[in-house]
Structure formats: structure tokens, C-alpha cells
Amino acid sequence: MSILRPGDEKFHYSDASHKWIPPDPDYDQALWDEQVRQHQRQHLVFEPPKRRRPARGTASR
């Protein structure tokens, strides 16, 4: 799950999913899409990497 930072509410619904519909119907959809994509890239930059569990049965002995 992503970490929501101050100002992120513009791009998120209350369930933390991303808004792909601009808040203003007159807002340029292509511009909004690009802003959401940039916002998503920020999640990747600011979030710590997720640790993967080793697959079952592949542990070293």
C-alpha cells in the first residue's frame, strides 16, 4: 500500500486508489492523466522497496 503524503488527496479517493477522472469536467483529460502518472512515479521514488519472501522449498540448507 502506498504512503499518502500531504497534498496527495488531490490524486486519491478515500480508499487510496488513484483518480483518473479530473475533478473539474472542463479540465484537460490528457493533462490530468500525465499529472496522475507523474504522481504515481513519485510513489515509486519515495516508498521503500518491498521485501520479497523466498519461494517455498527453495531455502538454502
Cα 29–Cα 31–Cα 33 angle in degrees, nearest 5:
70
CA atoms within 13 A on the CB side of 20: 2
Amino acid identity of residue 13, one-letter, is Y
- Per-residue confidence band for 3, with pLDDT thresholds at 50, 70 and 90: low
Q: What is the pLDDT of residues 4-59, one digit of tens each?
A: 778 888 999 888 889 999 989 999 999 999 999 999 998 887 766 667 777 776 65
| Of residues 42, 23, 22, 44, the one with CA closest to residue 33 | 22
Q: What is the pLDDT of residues 28-43, one digit of tens each?
A: 999 999 999 999 998 8
Q: What's the CA gap between 12 and 16, in Å, rounded?
A: 5
| Of residues 58, 27, 51, 1, the one with CA closest to residue 10 | 27
Task: Please give the mean pLDDT across all residues of the chain.
Answer: 82
Q: What is the pTM (predicted TM-score) of this model?
A: 0.65
